[in-house]
Amino acid sequence: MALTIEAFQKLIRDRYYPTDSARGTPGTFMWFIEEVGELATALQDNAPGKKPTPEQRANLDEEFADVLAWLTTLANINGVDLERALRKYTEEGVEGVKE
């Protein structure tokens, strides 16, 4: 079954909101950045031309999930509806490409 952004944000809110809101934005942002760092390492382990182990490949998937979960947590404690925010890409269209 497909998981929508709305459903994922609700799942994260339902499971973690009391702890996340008590930690606040600064503490949560630090956890998010730590996960971004772990993702950076996993991306290096899986870089083109390398032969990642099955464990390294699985870790890459896990780190992407962790970054998305912490980003969603930040959205929840700051009152951001991610599905609405993402309309920038789905309904409004995005001008230009970053190079």
Please, what are the domains in the chain? 24-82 (1.10.287.1080)
Q: CA–CA separation, 32 vs 61, rounded Å?
A: 16
pLDDT band at 96 (very low <50, low <70, confident <90, very high): low
What are the tens digits of pLDDT across the range 12-49? 999 999 999 999 999 999 999 999 999 999 999 999 99
Interacting residues of 74 by C-beta distance below 8 A, sequence separation 6+: 25, 28, 29, 32, 80
Q: What is the number of residues in the chain?
A: 99
Phi then psi dihedrals of residue 91, to 5 deg = -110, -40
Nearest to 8 by CA among 90, 91, 92, 86: 86
pTM for the structure as a whole: 0.88
**97: part of which helix (H) or strand (E)?**
none
